[in-house]
Amino acid sequence: MTQRLLRGTNVIVAGAGLAGLTAAMTLKRMGAKVSVIEARDRVGGRVLTIRGAFTQEQHAEAGGDFIDEGQHEIKRLAEEQGLTLRPILQQGFAFVRHPGPNRRRRRILSGEEAWDTLADMLCPLVTAYRTADKRWDSPIAGQLARQSVAHWLDEIKADSNMRAVARSLRGFFLADPEELSLLALVDQLAGVAPGQAAMYRIEGGNDRLPLALSEHVRQDLLLNSAVRAVYQDRDSVRVSIDTPNGQEASLQGTYVILAAPAATLRSIHMLPPLPSMQARAIDCLRYGRTTKALLQFDKSFWRRKGRPRACGTDAPTGAFWDANEEQAGKAGILTLMAGGQASEDTQKIMAQRGVEGLVDALDWMGSRSATLLHSRVVTWEDDPWAQGGYAYFDPSFDPRLRSWLARPHGRIIFAGEHTSMNWQGYMNGAVESGFRAAEEVCAMVLKK
């Protein structure tokens, strides 16, 4: 019965990341005809596992990295596809404060010590936000949204330690305290503190999930094809695309799911145009500057008793963590995650000294005792189909607009991590939105 539910329905899915592929697989199982269009030459979107660049058959994640304990949608989907999750970084994230003009020594704090400092000060705001059911259209959300984290720190006369902890969160939010809305921080702390939940990766690489999903639509997948325009009328949609040979073509369907970042949606012409509130939501959403460096050494010098394997830092090179502790081999891969201004700082270091500049920045951890074997650096703001790591909310974003990011526009449905209310910025948010988009198509068909 389920396989016949959407028979006769033709759905075009733009985007072969986790959101688009989850939606496509779900719709195909319901009997719909599905066509998946992807601008890149691969599936996965911002899930990118680097293989072949490292010795001993090791790999590391240049994109989406962690699956948290409470992220049930992606965990169930991975299990359904026959994939295994491996626990990682079981000590969670700690915090390293680096030396500065008035500070000679580094200071390492446990995650609880670091984040509790912020959480304690934010407790009244978190409580008020929870009382409002964490609604982004509530008065408290509006008040929090208009203020940056940096402004709040000034307001409470925060000391240098608290400011350093807040700066370290750019490795999580991909935005500096001056850029990040206070609402975004309160919303996160109303759930789980950054880096404190149990974390997992997919055994063999996170890209095994989009690759497995793509097998369900292998005959219906068109790569190297970018959507340029979407036209809809009462009964159908027409999607204009640039094909691999450089020609323009069009696809006709019953519905279209746009499973692409808001940054790329802005360049797609839609007729009839989006409602003004929806257009504003898409136009105002920001994406974090992100440079991710994967460094393989002949030994894992950072793995020492009593030392955390993952740390947020206020350093120019950003946060770092063990990228392959669950893999075999004597070599080890360390991830440097530079978000916000740290992304630009990391690029400057690379321009001046190459990857050796990053290695030297790890000298305090013992990098000179090891030999750098291989490296791979990915800067997501340079990717034309991402234009950043993932979405974040700055003080200019009206929180009442957030629900518009996921709202259907006639026969156009939207998906992607930026549309998720519960898991925005996570791979799980993309998966969750893909299921939701498929359900919305189903509801529209059944309503007819």
Provide the pLDDT confidence category of residue 197 given band limits of 50, 70 and 90: confident
Is the pLDDT at 326 greater than 70, yes or no? yes
Terminal-residue alpha carbon distance, the chain: 18
CA distances from 334 to 54, 124, 147, 368 (A): 12, 37, 35, 14
Asked whether 34 and 28 are in contact (CB, 8 A), the reply is yes
DSSP string, 56-95: TT--EESS---EETT-HHHHHHHHHTT--EEEE-TT--EE
Question: How much is the average pLDDT of 300-311?
Answer: 89
Using alpha carbons, select from 440, 437, 397 the residue that is nearest to residue 420. 437
pTM value?
A: 0.95
pLDDT of residue 249: 95
Map out the domains of the chain as residue ranges: 10-47+206-274+409-447, 86-201+287-382
Is the pLDDT at 318 greater than 60, yes or no? yes
The binding site comprises 38-39, 227
Provide the pLDDT confidence category of residue 1 given band limits of 50, 70 and 90: very low
pLDDT of residue 103: 52
Which tops the pLDDT comparison, 79 or 193?
79
pLDDT of residue 307: 81
Is the pLDDT at 167 greater than 60, yes or no? yes
The structure tokens 């596992």 sit at 49
Mean pLDDT of the chain: 94
Is the pLDDT at 53 greater than 60, yes or no? yes
Question: How much is the average pLDDT of 293-301?
Answer: 97
Compute the radius of gyration of the chain from its Cα atoms: 22
Helix (H, G, I), strand (E, B) or coil at 375: strand
Is the pLDDT at 269 greater than 60, yes or no? yes
Question: How much is the average pLDDT of 193-214?
Answer: 91
Is the pLDDT at 393 greater than 90, yes or no? yes
Relative to beta strand 269-271, strand 226-232 is parallel
pLDDT of residue 143: 97
In the chain, % of residues over pLDDT 90 = 85
Residues 362-388 pLDDT 10s: 998 999 999 999 999 999 999 999 999
pLDDT of residue 107: 75
The binding site for FAD comprises 38-39, 227
Asked whether 323 and 162 are in contact (CB, 8 A), the reply is no
Backbone CA torsion sign across 177, 183, 184, 185:
positive
In angstroms, the CA 223 to CA 205 distance is: 22
- Class of CATH domain 86-201+287-382: alpha beta
Q: How far is CA 252 from the centre of its chain?
A: 31
Is the pLDDT at 277 greater than 60, yes or no? yes
pLDDT of residue 104: 59
Topology of the domain comprising 10-47+206-274+409-447: FAD/NAD(P)-binding domain (3.50.50)
Domains 10-47+206-274+409-447 and 86-201+287-382 share a fold: no
Residues 6+ apart with CB under 8 A from 194: 93, 115, 169, 172, 188, 312
Provide the pLDDT confidence category of residue 214 given band limits of 50, 70 and 90: very high
Question: How much is the average pLDDT of 231-241?
Answer: 97
pLDDT of residue 306: 78
In angstroms, the CA 360 to CA 367 distance is: 7
Q: What are residue 295's DSSP bridge partners? A: 334, 375
In angstroms, the CA 34 to CA 163 distance is: 49
pLDDT of residue 191: 82
